[in-house]
Structures are given as structure tokens and as C-alpha cells.
Chains A and B, each alone.
Chain A
Amino acid sequence: MKVLAAGVVPLLLVLHWKHGAGSPLPITPVNATCATRHPCHSNLMNQIRNQLAQLNGSANALFILYYTAQGEPFPNNLDKLCGPNVTDFPPFHANSTEKTRLVELYRIIAYLGASLGNITRDQKVLNPNALSLHSKLNATADIMRGLLSNVLCRLCSKYHVAHVDVAYGPDTSGKDVFQKKKLGCQLLGKYKQVIAVVAQAF
């Protein structure tokens, strides 16, 4: 029972994160036993690569769709408003071991997933008629959820990593509208930049 409480519950929490989950998961003991609800797919790494390629393929379109929907001055001041200036973004080292890369990928996708949730929520209010943007945001979030699950499966099955500490971006709910737009743009700019590197690394 203790095993369950220590390993599975945090995992479930990670797998079922919701939009706007602002606080990091509690750090679980290092010796937590690794367990997955379902057996991992045999060709897991290929699936991860495909998902990364899928995200990488759609990241630029999502970015363009986003800043276009925000109106001026966003499309003409991308460097100042949408530059990838996300200070607390999880790092990624492409030359490290697969285990390290998977752990870092996990942190990145968890971060991005939460941020995308905030962006989606904000855009539904701020741009209620930008349906294609909403659709693209939702599709990206869906892929990220699958990728997160696959990465965790891989970590668990091969490296017996049961828990990864993750951090999330700032919650934008209290920000003013312009700031929400700007933060979202910065995040998607960063996402576009990072996902290219990550996809290349795998």
C-alpha cells in the first residue's frame, strides 16, 4: 500500500494534469517503485520520435496562427513580443545519455503542456472566434499528453524511473490581457525553438 501511495499516485497525477496546474508535483522518494498502468508499447522510442516529429512539424504553424490572432503589434514585432525569453524553461542537453534526455524531455513536455493549457484557456476568452487556433492548440496538447505518457513508460520500463520532478510556467490567470497574449506568444516561440532541438536529438 505504501508502494502504491508513493509511486502510482504521483504518476497518476502527472498523467492527468489539468490546465492551469501551477504548482510542481511533490518530490517523491528516490526509492519509489516504478509501475505503469498498462504495458508499454514495444516500439516506444519510435512512437516518441514520431510524436516529436509531429509536434515539430506543427509548431511553426501554431506559432504563426497564434501571433496572427493577437493582432498588432504582434505579427510585426516578433522579436520583442514573441522572442523565446522564457527564463524558467527546463533545460535540454542533446548530447547527454538517453535517460537524461528522456528525463529532460519529460520536464519540457510537462512544462509545455501546462502552459498550453493556460494559453488555450486564455485564447478561448480573448479570441473566441479564432477556432482554428483553438483546434490547433487542443491538437498539440493532445499529442503532448500522449508523448508524456510514452516518455514516462520508457523511463519506467527501461530505466526504472518512477518519478520526475517537474516545474510549470507562470499562471497567467492574474495577468492583464496584453501580458497574457505576450506570454503565450513567448511560450509558443520557445516551444517552436525547443521542439526542433528535441526532435533532432531523438
Chain B
Amino acid sequence: MAVFSVFQTTFFLALLSLRTLQSEVLSEPLPWAPESLKVSINSTHQCLHLQWSVHNLAYHQELKMVFQIEISRIKTSNVIWVENYSTTVKGNQLLHWSWESQLPLECAKHFIRMRSAVDDATTPEQRFWSNWSSWEEVDVQNSLGHEPLFVFPKDKLVEEGSNVTICYVSRSQQNNISCYLEGVRMQGQQLDPNVSMFNLHNVAFIRETGTNIYCKVDRGDDIKGIVLFVSKILEEPKDFSCETRDFQTLSCTWDPGRDTGLLKQLPQSYTLFESFSGKKTLCKHKGWCNWQVAPESQEMYNFTLTAENYLRKRSVHILFNLTHRVHPMAPFNVLFKDVSVTNATMTWKVHSTGNYYTLLCQVELYGEGKVIQKHNVSVKVNGELVLSGLEPDTEYSAQVRCANANHFWKWSEWTRQNFTTVEAAPSEAPDVWRNVKSVQGYCVVTLFWKPLSRLQANGEILFYNIVVEDLDRPSGLQLLSVPAPANRTELTLDQRAYQIHVTANNSVGTSPASVLVVSGDPGDEEVEEERVKGTEDGFSLSWKPQPGNITGYIVEWCDRPRDPLCDLQWKHLGPNTTSTVISSDAFRPGVRYNFRIYGISTEMVPYLLEKKTGYSQELAPSDNPRVVMSNLTSHSFTLSWKDYSTESQPSFIRGYHVYLKSKAGQCHPGSEKAVLSDDSVCCKYKIDDPKQKMFVVGNLQPESFYEFLVTPYSAVGEGPHGAFTKVTTPDEYSPMLIRIILPMIFCILLIMILCYLKSQWMKEKCYPDIPDPYKSSVLSLIKSKENPRLTIMNIKDCVPDTIEVVNKHEGTGKSPTEPEAAKPTYLYLLPAEESYSGPGPCICFENFTYNQAASDSASCGHVPVPTKAPSQLGLLTSSENLLTALEKNCMNSLEEIPAGESSLNYVSQVASPVSGDKSSLPTNPPQPELCSEYKMQMAIPLGLAAPSSSGSSSLSSITLLDEGEHYH
């Protein structure tokens, strides 16, 4: 153990002495140590540039050396970078080395030192490191100036995704400084009391104009900042290729990729370098560049495309043989010759590329927008190709392109040219159908035909020829020519059978004829109509196969049945077909389509087999019928909608619903409650027969308010619940009253009219001016009950003696003749002896009641007497009528006539005999004129007569000249 300890001590001592020896050796300056170390800075690039030389290196000497460089930050002990730089050193050569600092150099002091070692095989003995050079200090802060705050680095340009360190230098330690990036405060790291740095990782491109980063002193009035420019990473050019079209110029193209987003002053540039010729060109454009082909027929080319910007450089290479990169120019002078109905010869030319090359040309023939033929042709200079299998009168388009046949690189552009084949006669007969109507004993035949397709027409159809042949008279032919593009014509034929031939004609010839026979009787009405259900795909129709010889069937319908022209359509079907699907783009939901299926006999006579009708899609009725209400009573009313057409509805009408709203809300049998969309409740009557267009709403209450609505319904729903019609039932008695009152009013009116018309007759009958005692019922009453002996005085028994007319003129001096002059009054005197037997001479006073002129004179008793009155007065002697008239007139006027003014005194000289012989009474006494009263003319016994005051008063105006009875 002791021996081991001694050995160990000895070993450590030896090792220590060896170490000391080595240190002494190394401390000696080596002959090739670095010297004259100078450090400079590039603030823009944040670089330290070192420059030094090698001590004692002979002028001609070359040594491979290693220089170890140490960089410290802030203080020498804080070494942040160590790098061995190997290079071959020549005598007296100045060596350079650069280092880019992540931290802006302005923000911290940097210290640099280096040492060297020979790394040359020729001097293996010199493999020790030289001494370190002294530390070189780089301190930029001193040269910044005296501003309170600085931010670094200025205007730094970095690529997207890189890391950047920002720092600020403050002149005052008391300042509280905050820094922001795009308005967001950055968290920094303090390097020393005046300096802080901020590490930005993975910076993103924000905008071309850079990102403002700024620092500000809290409570200060200044802001310092920098702009950081972030560019997108320069991409490697893609799809770089070169080609020639004329063996004079190489056109090189590439995809530059995305823009780096740098300012216009710092864009990326593209350089093209060809290694065989050693030529280089700076491309003016971003994506392409032209290169002049060398005249000395250089075949091989090796291009390097270099994309370069401020931060990065990228290159791509291509090596190619010029003849393999030939992109021919488009063929030209494409022509067509010998164009016939079905053939054409196409010729073209290609640009000369030297006689050494053969071109492969591709020809494509287009018809109706589609490629219908493709051909490949080898071409030296001129190309030619025969195109066959073409259709007549058809426009075609042919295009040709070419490529290098030996080394295909690219097709040229297409060169296209159109041509049209010549016409031929139409190949098919037109598809013809007819519509026959009987008008006034004639058949009006409307012929329809479908235009021939392009393939069938073989040219432009100019006109259609129609030949009408009378089958009964074969010699009777009628020719009609209809110019295109008409597709119909109308013929008026008599009720015989005709065969109609229709042909289409173009400039070259005539088509085969389409034949149709029209018989006099269409016979369409006897076939019943069936309903069919359509779908979105159309109507599926089927019919019974017809026995006998049938050449085919035709289904006929109208695309627009609601239009007057209806757009007649038809479809030909073979004789073995008994079903088909009719579809049309014109079919619309809610439109009823009628189909007729005809069979075509061998004689080409069509006859109707079946009728079908249906909707492609039924829709709910859109309209309600217009309802007329009638027979309104207190308990019922009648609704009718006779003019509602079920045929023109958007679905098959199955019936009607009658909705009745009432306040009572009770529904009678035959109706059911229904809740409408507005939640109102009403009674619903259902009519299942669409033909029933009348309905009596009964069981109503008098004087009640009702609302009703009639709406049709079909399989898909009912009509709209629009406005209800309001109705109020009348009360129960009004009709009865009307029945009574109206006839009554009518009768009264009738009576009044009759009375008016027969007023004279009525007057005479009911209330004559001079009543006829013989006709008086009073007499009969008196006679029968009281005095059967009572008789009526006969006028014949009264013989007037004298009429004294007393004229007394007072005051006025008015001549009594004056009124006569105005209104002649006359006086007739009948002889007393003369018996009165009907109309005849009688004594009459004018009835002033009916004489307005006399009335105006206001003098009933004023009877003017003409100057020649005596002769006339004589007549008065025997006139009873006169007496009566005088009495009558005077009785009515006595009170109005002043006494003594004028008076007519009647002096009866004969007492009226009382005769009990009733038969002696005149049967037809003269009619009294005015103021007649029965009592005045009746001879009443004294015992019965009761003198009245009026009677006595009237006596003053009448002077009785003789004793006897006197009457008023």
C-alpha cells in the first residue's frame, strides 16, 4: 500500500513538471502567429469583419493554417462564438473573416481574439496553437450620439420564418421603456441596465411595406422605431424549359413561384447562363427569357437559371439538344378543294424548319361541335388529306397541328378552317298529319308537317309540294306549293275522299312523298274519353290492338291546349305497337291534355280509335265558381254555379264543398263541421257529383246572418278558401205581409184609377148634384118603415106661374149686362104643360159650380138677364126645373148675396099637390144642376116638417107671392 502511494505521488509530480514544461514552450511566440488584427463592423448586415496577417511568413511560402477565433459579448469572459477557420496562407497575404451577429452590434460590446496553428503536412512539427492575440474591442454605442433612445437593427431584411433579435439602447437608467410589434408589447431580456433585447422567433410576412417596431419611454414624448422587412422565401424556379420555333431563338420559360413580397427596389432577379458557350444574360421578365441561338449550329445547350434576391439565390439546370426542343409554328394556308356531297380534300402548309425534319401533322374533323374524324399525316412542306364519309350540305370544321416527327416535343397551335359539303335531294318524306273539320258541308283540312332534320333534308328546304288527288275522280288533281319554312297549310275539300301527297324540295331535288287519305267523315265523336294519369316523364298511353291491316298508329295531342292554335303534335307508331309514352317539354302541371289515338289503314286512312285525357300533374283547383244566390227565404236559399267549367280546371273536379258559417255554429244533418285555416268553424256540405251545380241550403233560421263558400275539390285538394259571401235570412212574416199588402195596394190603386176614370159616372151614381129621389134608398127606407104613403113630388105637378126678376142696382153703377157680356148666362123655360120624357127641352140654369167664370163672379143668385129677356122669360112659366135650379142656386148663395142687391124671386102659384100615386112620378126627371138637397124638393107633410133656423133665415131672400107650401 505504501509502495502504491509513493508511485502515485511520483506520477503526479512528473505530470506536473511535464505540464509546466509544455506551458513554457507554448508561451513562446510561434513564427506564424496572427498579427495586425483589425476589426470593422457593417451595421447594415450586423457583421464583424476581421482582417489580419500571419507573422513571419515568407513571401513565397504557402501554408495551410487553422485560425481559431473567439468572440465575447459585453465582457471577454462571456465567449459567445468559437470558430476554426482553415485556409491556405501565402506570404504577406491579408486574411479576412466575417461573422454575422444575431444581436445588433450597437447593443453590446464585442471582443475578438484569435490564434493560429499550422495544419500543413509539410511542417508536422508546428501543430501547436499560437498564443491568443490580444482582445479587440468593438463598441459602437459610443458613436451613436446623444439621443435618449435607440432601437436596432435598422431596416433589417429577413426571410419569413427566421429569428430576429431586436434591442434598444437607452441613455437613462431611470427610463421605463416598452417596445411594441404591430401594437403588441414585446417581452424583452435586459442585457445591461441600459440595453434590452427582444427575440422574435419565426417572423411572419405581414406586408410589403414592412413592419413597424417601436419603443417608447413611459411618460416621455418620443418614440423610436425601426422597420423590419420580412420577405417570403425565394422559391426555386419551376418547369424551366427552353424550345425553339424557328431555330433562331430559344425561348426559355419557367414558373417563378410566389412573389417574395419585397419592395420594388429589392425584387428577385433571374439570370440565364449557358455553360457551353459561357454566355450569360439577365432576364428582363420574371417568367421567361429569350436566348439567341448561336449561328455556329450549336446543338447542345446547358442552361442554368439563377433566381436571386437580397437574401437568397436559387438555381436550376437543363441540358438539351436543340433539335429535340422544336415547337413548330402553326400550319397555315389551310384550304379545301374538290368539295362534293360526301368528300373534301384538305391542304395546308407548314413553316420551313429545314429539309432535315419531317413533321407529323394531326387533322381533326368537327361536325356539330364534336370530333368525328382524326387523321395523322406526315408532312415535309405541304400537307394533303382527303376527308370522306361526309354528309351533304353540312358545315364542318377541320383543324390541323404539327409536331416534330422524329423527336416529339410539342404540338404546334391548331389552325382551323370551316367548309360545307354540297346539297343533295331530301332523303326522307316529311312527317305529315292533318286536322279535319267540317264547316258548312265542306271539309277544312289543315295539314301539318315536321321540318326535315339536317340529315334528311340534305340542304335547305325551299318549298313543300302538296298534291290533292280526288279518289273518286282520279283525274282531279290539285297542286299546291307552300314555301318553307311554313309547316302547315289549310285545304277546303268537299265531303269526298282525297289522297294527299306531300313532298319537300330543296335546290337539288324532291323528297319521297308522304301520303295521307282524308275521308269526308272524321267520325271522331263516337269514341268515349278515358282518363290517364301522367307523370313527370310523360303520359303512358296504351290501346287495344286493332284487327285487320293496320300500317301504324298515330297519337295526336296539343302541347298548348289552352291556346287557340294549340300547337298540334303527333307521333307515328308501328303497327305492332299498342302503347307508348308521350313526353314533351311543353307539358305543364295543372293543364289537361287530350290525346287521340288513330289507326292508319292500309289505304292510309286514319280513323280514331281512342281518346285519352289527363294531367301530367294534377293541381288543386285554383278558382272557386262564381255562385249566384237565389230563392232567399227565412229558412233557405239556393246556390247555383252553372257557368263553372270543370274542363278547364287544373285537375279532375270530383265535386264541391259548400261551407256555411253561422253564428249558431250548429250543423244540420247532411253537413259536417269543418275547421278552416283561420280556425273558424263552419258546416260543410259535400256534393259528390261535379255536374251538380246547384245546392239548396236549408234549415236556416229567420233573420240570421250566414256566410257561405262553394269550392270545388279534386283528388289533390280543394279550391282556395277565399272570401265568403254574406247573406241574412229575412224574418218569417215579411213575405206574408208582402203577399197581402201588395195586392191590397194594387186593388186600391185600381179602384182609385177606376174612380178617377169613371168619376162622372160615379158621381151620378153615388152623389149626384141633383139626387134622384127615385133612386134614393132613404125613400124606400122611410116608406117601408114609417109612412108607406109617402111619395115623391112629381115635377109635372108643379106649374110655375111667374118668375120675377128683381134687379137692384146699388153703388157700383155696374150694368147688369156686363157679366153677360163676359159670360153669357142663359135661361130656358120649359112649358109647364109639356110632359117631360127624357132629354128634351128643359129649363136650365147654368151650374156655376162647374163654371169657373160664373164662380169668379161670386154671384150665384146673380142671374143676369139679357135685355130681351121678356121673350125668354116667358118660358119660365112652366118650368119646374127652373124652380129647382133657382132654389138650388139661391140656397147656396143667399148668405153671400147682399140683400137688395139682386134677387130672383120665385112665386109659386100652385100648391104642390100631394099625390099618393107614385107611378105618376116622372121616370126620368131632369137632372138638377147645383145645390140639390132631397128635403128641399120633397113635399113633406107639415107634421113632419121641422122648421129650422136656416130655413127661416133663407126666407128673407125669397118672397112667397102666394100662400102655400114653399120649399127651399
- A residues neighboring B (CB under 8 Å): 70-74, 76-77, 79-81, 83, 125-129, 176-178, 181-182
Contacts and interface: CB of A to CB of B under 8 A. Distances in A.
B263 interface: yes
Interface in B195-230: 207-210, 212, 214, 216, 220-227
B264 A125 contact: yes
Given A125-B263, A176-B226, A178-B212, A73 B155 contact: no
Interface in B127-162: 151, 154-155
Interface in B506-558: none
A171 to B, nearest CB: 17
6 contacts: A72-B183, A80-B223, A83-B221, A128-B208, A177-B227, A178-B214
B154 A127 contact: no
Given A79-B221, A178-B214, A73 B209 contact: no
B216 A77 contact: yes
A77 B222 CA distance: 10
Nearest to B181: A72
B265 interface: yes
B212 A70 contact: yes
B679 interface: no
Nearest to A73: B214
Contact of B216 (A80, A127, A181, A182): A80
B180 interface: yes
A73 B180 contact: yes
Given A71-B209, A79-B221, A125 B265 contact: yes
B222 to A, nearest CB: 6
B182 interface: yes
Contact of A178 (B207, B227, B263, B265): B227
Contacts, number: 62
Nearest to A81: B223
B212 A80 contact: no
Given A73-B216, A80-B222, 5 more contacts: A79-B221, A128-B208, A176-B154, A181-B212, A182-B223
B182 to A, nearest CB: 6
B222 A177 contact: no
A177 B151 CA distance: 12
A90 B191 CA distance: 43
Contacts of B183: 72-73, 76
A116 to B, nearest CB: 20
Contact of B225 (A73, A126, A127): A73
A178 B221 contact: no
Contacts of B210: 126, 177
Contacts of B221: 79-80, 83
B212 to A, nearest CB: 5
Contact of A126 (B154, B180, B209, B220): B209
Contacts of A127: 209
A128 B225 contact: no
Interface centre among A70, A73, A126, A129 (most CB of B within 10 A): A73
A178 B223 CA distance: 10
Contact of B264 (A72, A73, A77, A128): A128
A71 B209 CA distance: 9
A70 B827 CA distance: 140
Contacts of B209: 71, 126-129
Contacts of B226: 176-178
Nearest to B220: A80
Contacts of A177: 154-155, 210, 226-227
A39 B466 CA distance: 95
A125 to B, nearest CB: 6
A79 B220 CA distance: 11
A139 to B, nearest CB: 22
Contacts of B225: 73, 178, 182
Nearest to B222: A80
B182 A72 contact: yes
Interface in B866-883: none
Contacts of A182: 223, 225
Interface string B145-189: 000000100110000000000000000000000001011000000
Contacts of A81: 223
Contacts of A70: 212
A78 B596 CA distance: 89
B214 to A, nearest CB: 5
A129 B261 CA distance: 13
Given A73-B223, A80-B221, A178-B225, A128 B216 contact: no
A71 B180 CA distance: 13
Nearest to A128: B264
A182 B147 CA distance: 15
Nearest to B152: A176
Contacts of B208: 128-129
B212 A128 contact: no
Nearest to A72: B183
Given A176-B227, A178-B227, A71 B263 contact: no
Contacts of A176: 154-155, 226-227
A79 B180 CA distance: 17
A70 B214 CA distance: 13
Nearest to B227: A177
A119 to B, nearest CB: 15
B922 to A, nearest CB: 134
A181 B224 CA distance: 11
Nearest to A177: B227
Nearest to A69: B209
A125 B210 CA distance: 11
A81 B207 CA distance: 21
Contacts of A73: 180, 183, 212, 214, 216, 223, 225
Nearest to B229: A177
B150 to A, nearest CB: 11
A125 B216 CA distance: 26
Interface in B221-255: 221-227
Contacts of B220: 80
B266 to A, nearest CB: 10
A128 B263 contact: yes
A31 B223 CA distance: 47
A127 B210 CA distance: 9
Interface centre among A70, A128, A177 (most CB of B within 10 A): A177
B204 to A, nearest CB: 15
A83 B151 CA distance: 20
A80 B214 CA distance: 12
A70 to B, nearest CB: 7
A96 to B, nearest CB: 31
Given A125-B265, A128-B264, A176-B154, A71 B222 contact: no
A81 B227 CA distance: 14
Interface centre among B209, B210, B223 (most CB of A within 10 A): B209
A80 B221 CA distance: 5
A76 B182 CA distance: 12
A193 to B, nearest CB: 17
A126 B822 CA distance: 133
A114 B71 CA distance: 46
Nearest to A80: B223
A177 B263 CA distance: 12
B235 to A, nearest CB: 22
A79 B216 CA distance: 12
Contacts of B207: 71
Contacts of A125: 263-265
Contact of B212 (A71, A79, A83): A71
A77 B264 CA distance: 28
Contacts of A74: 212
Contacts of B155: 176-178
Contacts of B212: 70-74, 178, 181
A80 B225 CA distance: 12
Nearest to A124: B264
A86 to B, nearest CB: 15
A127 B208 CA distance: 8
A179 to B, nearest CB: 8
Nearest to A178: B225
Interface in B256-298: 263-265
